[in-house]
Amino acid sequence: MSSFVAAGNASAIQAAPISNAPFWPDIDPTAFRDAHRIDGTVTPRRVTDVLLTAIATTNRVLRHWQAKQVEAGYPVLDAVPTPDWQPFGVYPALYQRAVFAEAHAQLLERYRDYDATAATRDRGDLHDETADTYRRDARWAVSEIAGRSHVTVELI
């Protein structure tokens, strides 16, 4: 599997942590850069932008699950009890994975034209596939949080 790893100024100024809705944990852009090997060629402003969009998407998809948890008396994600078969702290880890994967997919789509030489244009489809892979990872993390299967099948 291919991954976007740009070479550049790794000592770029880091963005401040992003405050999230009260139920969800804040997101640290530095942790995103470290986990997904995003270097300084991606500006702090762009990292913040894609993370905010990924947070909005993930929170929207999980809004009904969140409402059920708050109604059950769990005001924050860390307070939600994990099922016996899951490790402690799995919900915050899955949430972060969903946000990071969605953000990385967005970066891959935006940086497709980073280098417009013929060789990189030919690799554009490879980036689309990788962006789709990150989006799948985000959806699977959301499905794990919500307790749903990773696959939906309907008889037509």
Supply the range of the domain harboring residue 125.
29-146
pLDDT for the residue 71: 98
State how far the alpha carbon of 19 is from the alpha carbons of 23, 28, 42, in Å.
Answer: 11, 9, 21
Is position 153 within any domain?
A: no
pLDDT in tens, 29-67: 999 999 999 988 899 999 999 999 999 999 999 999 999
pLDDT in tens, 106-152: 999 887 645 545 555 555 454 556 888 999 999 999 999 998 876 66
pTM, two decimal places: 0.80
Total structural domains within the chain: 1
State how far the alpha carbon of 90 is from the alpha carbons of 31, 78, 94, in Å.
Answer: 17, 9, 6
Is position 49 within any domain?
A: yes
Average pLDDT over residues 79-104: 95
